[in-house]
Structure 1
Amino acid sequence: MNTERPHGASTLIVKDLNAQSVLRCLKEAQTATVRQLAGASGLSVVTVKAIMTSLVDQGKAFIGGKAPSGGGRPSQRYIFNEKHSLGLVIFTREVDGKDTVFLRVVDLYGQTLDSESIEIPSLGPDELETLIGEKILQFNRLQAISLGLPGIEYKGTIVSVDYKALIGIPLADRLRSRFGMPVLVENDVNAAVLGRDCEAYIYFPRKYPPGAGLLIQGTLLKGCHHFAGEIGWLPLGISWGPETADSFEDCCSAAAKVVASLTAVVDPASVVLYGEHLGKEHLQRIGELCRNLLPAQALPTLHCSEDFTADFEQGLKKILLNLLDENLLEKPLREEQIPKKKI
């Protein structure tokens, strides 16, 4: 849509809107000429050319080679600089019985530039700040952080989590203040449902009650107190833990009751299940039991994820890319340099 002359907008706002449009188009195309960007954005060639000059000066774009001319004068190509701003994904998982922190540095396309996993005996805010500070020293263009934890965050404060030192801590605000960049903290299963891009995702740990992530029309369902998805609290009379998980029939019966309960509330077209102890035989049996609990027209399609960590990480990357895009597009013609972070 042409935003060159919106009624009543100031010149500065118009310039920002135009630059945002051009930058989005260039990012989507990866490389393009001024004429191609003008066609995609609806702006004039003259306007786009001026914007591209500014974006190159800021380092958000590079000058590339010449495009094929087709008989006329060759056009200058521009390349989106995906490394202009970087982001940090942090998440925790238990690996071989040991608490492990995973750190990923990604570019504006979500490509991983640096990957590290660190075993840590205890995780608190000080340990997190140390890990983040070390990454900022390595990558001075870090501009946003997404953090995934197995717990509940409400109004910016961690109210329930496996790491007791984090409970009661306004973690997102603390990290924003400490490092001067956007920070978003998300529950592990909520991140997984985003990463998998499905409507419902249920994680069945072997030792703990299950949790669910729900994506309704593309939006995470969190509820008034961010308690949505805490399905271990459903009054189903199930004793969650290794004894139930290790019994094939008890495990399948418990999972089917959870799926049926969830279906009766949100009616998903499909449900993804994950558990280290779940296999194809479990999925088949859970489906059979669900057919006894639900009417045929309400049965969701069941899928089994093979890699919760990958789904978790992918969801955090999506969250991070949204933060980076917001930061990149805010006042695009008035950003002079990457601000220095406090470490």
Structure 2
Amino acid sequence: MTKRPLGGYFLTSKAKPTTRQRNLLKVLNLLQQNDSQSAKNLSIQTGLSIVSINKLLDVLDNKHLITNGFLNTSGRRAKTYQLRADAGKLGIFQLIESNGKILITYYLCDLLGQIYQKRQATKPLESLDYLLDFIKTMTLKERPIKIIVGVPGVELNALLQISDVQSLQGINLTAAITTATGIDALIVNDVNASTYGANKKSDQENITVGIYFPKNFGPGVGVVINNHLLHGADGLTGKIEFGTVSSNDKTQEIIQHLQNIISLLNPNLMIAYIEKLNLSSGEINHIKQTIDKKLPLHQNYSLIFDHNFKKDYLTGLIAIGRQQFLHDQVVD
């Protein structure tokens, strides 16, 4: 089984997709970026003929992945196509640091992110068995089509080798969850998910970088280029804890990280998730002014400090889970 990146994360498949499958995925990716699309717009964006687009839409309709509606324009009704929200439900487990402990929150939602159920574990994460028991309990009665788990860590060679949760270190978490529940699982790094969730999708060149500063752990970075998450040759893109920045002054540490990232990648959008640090408005203004002075030629980027990490994190997990599910429906 090989792995290849699609839509910002690694997808598993037994074979490379055929030309038709690749075209189906192109259409699905475009439908995910917009609420609705006409066949004509899909034809223009993909470079495929209207006849080919209509055939692809028929395939997706037969798989119950899309629905259609109508848009009134200049007195004429144009047929439009959208993803089916009810094509399946996703089970999202969000692991997030709070005061040095890892809390687990479960969300059951449809493909478009409508949340039907939200439950938080009664205790912080304490062991693999505790996590698996919570996942099994939440997914027992109403089984999602896929389980997506956001973790403060990185899965390499099928093992969670870098993690803020010591009890999960070295565990094949994907296999453990799938075995325990009988439901396909996907593990996603928390900062990758938040950056992907915050990314402003664009047809033009677009770079979004998110840097997250937990209160009791080291910072992490997510990089999205042209709507695709960057993982790197070893899957370690964004592990800036291995870098050379070191300071006892938190504002200076933030300044150094931001200066390095902005000067190297020149992003369109730079998000600093600093809510856990409780910095004052004066400290934040000092960071902004210092960056402006150090990087006077970098003027076409936005530096944002007020994004909500948990919200972007959840949005990203849903989007990644949806893409994985749609890919599986087309290719596997």
- Superposed pair shares fold, TM > 0.5: yes
Which residues of 2 match residues 86-165 of structure 1 at below 5 A?
A: 86-95=89-98, 98-140=101-143, 142-165=144-167
Please say if residues 209 and 267 of structure 2, whose CA atoms lie closer than 8 Å, have aligned partners that are also in contact: yes
Aligned partner of residue 297 in structure 1, secondary structure: coil
Q: Which amino acid aligns with 2:210?
A: Y
Q: Identity over the aligned pairs, expressed in percent?
A: 22
In structure 2, what is the equivalent of residue 320 of structure 1?
321
| Whole-angstrom distance in 2 between the partners of 1:171 and 1:273 | 29
1:235 aligns to 2:238 (yes or no): no
Please say if residues 136 and 180 of structure 2, whose CA atoms lie closer than 8 Å, have aligned partners that are also in contact: no
- Cα deviation for residue 133 of structure 1 reads 2.1
| Change in CA separation of 1:201 and 1:256 when aligned onto 2, cut-off 3 Å | same
| Change in CA separation of 1:115 and 1:285 when aligned onto 2, cut-off 3 Å | same
Aligned partner of residue 132 in structure 2, secondary structure: helix
| Whole-angstrom distance in 2 between the partners of 1:265 and 1:120 | 41
| Whole-angstrom distance in 2 between the partners of 1:125 and 1:330 | 32
In structure 1, what is the equivalent of residue 231 of structure 2?
222
- Cα deviation for residue 309 of structure 1 reads 0.6
Please say if residues 97 and 214 of structure 2, whose CA atoms lie closer than 8 Å, have aligned partners that are also in contact: no
| Whole-angstrom distance in 2 between the partners of 1:327 and 1:203 | 31
- The answer for unaligned runs of 5 or more in structure 1 is 1-12, 69-76, 240-249, 332-343
Aligned partner of residue 199 in structure 1, secondary structure: strand
TM-score (norm 1): 0.69
1:297 aligns to 2:300 (yes or no): no
| Whole-angstrom distance in 1 between the partners of 2:183 and 2:219 | 33
> Which one is further off, 100-109 or 264-273?
264-273
Aligned partner of residue 215 in structure 2, secondary structure: coil
TM-score (norm 2): 0.71
- Cα deviation for residue 80 of structure 1 reads 6.7
Q: Which amino acid aligns with 1:206?
A: K
In structure 2, what is the equivalent of residue 169 of structure 1?
171
- Cα deviation for residue 212 of structure 1 reads 1.4
In structure 1, what is the equivalent of residue 312 of structure 2?
311
Q: Which amino acid aligns with 2:163?
A: V
Please say if residues 182 and 323 of structure 1, whose CA atoms lie closer than 8 Å, have aligned partners that are also in contact: no
- Cα deviation for residue 210 of structure 1 reads 1.8
In structure 1, what is the equivalent of residue 218 of structure 2?
209
| Change in CA separation of 1:182 and 1:291 when aligned onto 2, cut-off 3 Å | same
Aligned partner of residue 224 in structure 1, secondary structure: coil
1:196 aligns to 2:198 (yes or no): yes
Please say if residues 104 and 124 of structure 2, whose CA atoms lie closer than 8 Å, have aligned partners that are also in contact: no
| Whole-angstrom distance in 2 between the partners of 1:96 and 1:81 | 39
| Whole-angstrom distance in 1 between the partners of 2:263 and 2:81 | 52
Which residues of 2 match residues 8-157 of structure 1 at below 5 A?
A: 42-43=50-51, 55=62, 81-95=84-98, 98-140=101-143, 142-157=144-159
- Cα deviation for residue 189 of structure 1 reads 1.0
| Change in CA separation of 1:315 and 1:218 when aligned onto 2, cut-off 3 Å | same
- Cα deviation for residue 195 of structure 1 reads 0.9
Alignment root-mean-square deviation, CA: 4.0
Please say if residues 211 and 219 of structure 2, whose CA atoms lie closer than 8 Å, have aligned partners that are also in contact: yes
Please say if residues 103 and 125 of structure 2, whose CA atoms lie closer than 8 Å, have aligned partners that are also in contact: no
Q: Which amino acid aligns with 2:262?
A: T
| Change in CA separation of 1:86 and 1:262 when aligned onto 2, cut-off 3 Å | same
| Change in CA separation of 1:24 and 1:295 when aligned onto 2, cut-off 3 Å | closer
Aligned partner of residue 119 in structure 1, secondary structure: coil
| Whole-angstrom distance in 1 between the partners of 2:259 and 2:19 | 51
| Change in CA separation of 1:23 and 1:231 when aligned onto 2, cut-off 3 Å | closer
Please say if residues 213 and 274 of structure 2, whose CA atoms lie closer than 8 Å, have aligned partners that are also in contact: yes
- Cα deviation for residue 222 of structure 1 reads 2.4
1:283 aligns to 2:284 (yes or no): yes
| Change in CA separation of 1:126 and 1:274 when aligned onto 2, cut-off 3 Å | same
Q: Which amino acid aligns with 1:258?
A: H
| Change in CA separation of 1:317 and 1:279 when aligned onto 2, cut-off 3 Å | farther
Deviations 1:275-304 (A, max 9, x none): 121354333211221234x34113543111
Please say if residues 111 and 318 of structure 2, whose CA atoms lie closer than 8 Å, have aligned partners that are also in contact: no
Aligned partner of residue 251 in structure 2, secondary structure: helix
Larger Rg: 1
Aligned partner of residue 231 in structure 2, secondary structure: coil
- Cα deviation for residue 39 of structure 1 reads 10
| Change in CA separation of 1:16 and 1:154 when aligned onto 2, cut-off 3 Å | closer
Aligned length: 295
Q: Which amino acid aligns with 2:264?
A: V
| Change in CA separation of 1:224 and 1:80 when aligned onto 2, cut-off 3 Å | closer
- The answer for unaligned runs of 5 or more in structure 2 is 1-17, 44-49, 73-79, 200-206
Aligned partner of residue 106 in structure 2, secondary structure: strand
| Whole-angstrom distance in 2 between the partners of 1:281 and 1:115 | 36
| Whole-angstrom distance in 2 between the partners of 1:251 and 1:126 | 36
